[in-house]
Amino acid sequence: MSTIHKINELKKQRDAVILAHYYVNDEVQAIADYVGDSFYLSKAATNIQAKTILFCGVSFMGESAKILNPKKTVIMPDLEADCPMAHMADSAKIEQLRREYPDLAVVCYINSTAKLKTYSDVCVTSSNAVKIVKALPNQHIYFIPDENLGRYVASQVPEKHIILNEGYCHVHKDITAASVQKTKEAHPGAEILVHPECTKDVTELADYIGSTSGIIDYAEQSKAEEFIICTELGVLYELKQKNPDKRFYSAGHQQCCPDMKRITLEKVAEALEQMTNFVEMEEELRIRANRPLERMLELG
């Protein structure tokens, strides 16, 4: 039996649906029921009828699905797939800033541990961060953990005081302005599409800045025929499917998230067969982490 056939059989037996982020391997995206950016996937997770959610992504994604759907069984193909940035903020600093600014709102990128979410007022993703920060009544905002997304939000919401934290995504940080410019010299007609996790000098070169789905939608609607993609290159699978006649170039880097790439078809089949890789957490932690996520769904 092929691995794909096995997965389809096991899905029926386990009453499971598969959610996958655009950064996982192409063949995993191909067998998923829902593929999307972080916001789409968290919304999708709340509307699932099946008993089991198999989340193909990194741990904060599976955790968020479980926090929002405590009654569902949530499993992951590889529990070790983790986003390093999700850990890059510190509760002591949050408490210190809360003392300093009584009206502080702690805005937490969904790329964060459940524990960090419990210290936060609202979660955001790259597709709704600007909208949510604008909508908050608070003047002082502490944006965790991603400095680059925080800086991008600050540039779009200049009327607020946004305090940044020193977290980063190593995949996006490694994309340099010099190599984006070099790629542009080789393809002068190409539009530069940039994820807001990239550094400031890269976002300054952008024709478009947005989440993974924002980038995919922009490329589809644009009249341009060539694009330089400044994000993890898993997005190429969807970009090429939707735009077979357009050309896509990397920004001259590997642009590969090793954690996302841990998810393979074999591990998907194994997780469904063994039903052991459960996402679990204490109920008290779940309830506290759920508040900022629910607030994001209301405001986003």
Residue numbers of the site for ligand 13P (CB under 6 A)? Answer: 22, 37-39, 83, 111, 125-127, 169, 195, 197, 211-212
Decide if 174 contacts 148 (C-beta within 8 A): no
Taking the alpha carbons of 241, 242, 244, 246 in that order, is the dihedral positive or negative? negative
CB of 55 to ligand SF4, least distance (A): 13
Contacts of 241 (CB under 8 A, 6+ apart): none
Closest to ligand SF4 by CB, 57 or 252: 57
CB of 111 to ligand SF4, least distance (A): 5
H-only helix segments in 243-282 = 265-274
Closest to ligand SF4 by CB, 3 or 179: 179
Residue with tokens 């009654």: 71
Choose among ligand 13P, ligand SF4, none what residue 259 binds, the Cβ cut-off being 5 to 8 Å by kind.
ligand SF4
Residues at the interface with ligand SF4 (CB under 6 A): 23, 58, 83-85, 111, 169-171, 232, 257, 259-260
Closest to ligand 13P by CB, 53 or 230: 230
Closest to ligand SF4 by CB, 5 or 170: 170
Choose among ligand 13P, ligand SF4, none what residue 184 binds, the Cβ cut-off being 5 to 8 Å by kind.
none
Angle, in degrees to the nearest 10, between helices 59-68 and 38-45: 30
CB of 64 to ligand SF4, least distance (A): 13
CA angle 180, 124, 276 (to 5 degrees): 95
Choose among ligand SF4, ligand 13P, none what residue 29 binds, the Cβ cut-off being 5 to 8 Å by kind.
none
CB of 35 to ligand 13P, least distance (A): 10
* Number of other residues whose CB lies within 10 A of the CB of residue 86: 26
Backbone angles phi, psi at 213, to 5 degrees: -70, -30
CA distance 197 to 170: 9
Choose among ligand 13P, ligand SF4, none what residue 160 binds, the Cβ cut-off being 5 to 8 Å by kind.
none
Choose among ligand SF4, ligand 13P, none what residue 38 binds, the Cβ cut-off being 5 to 8 Å by kind.
ligand 13P
CB of 263 to ligand SF4, least distance (A): 11
Decide if 275 contacts 75 (C-beta within 8 A): yes
Q: Which two tokens stand for residue 208?
A: 């478009």
CB of 227 to ligand 13P, least distance (A): 16
Amino acid at 91: S
Choose among ligand 13P, ligand SF4, none what residue 125 binds, the Cβ cut-off being 5 to 8 Å by kind.
ligand 13P
Decide if 215 contacts 206 (C-beta within 8 A): no
Of 215, 226, 235, 239, nearest to 187 (Cα)? 226
Closest to ligand 13P by CB, 20 or 169: 169
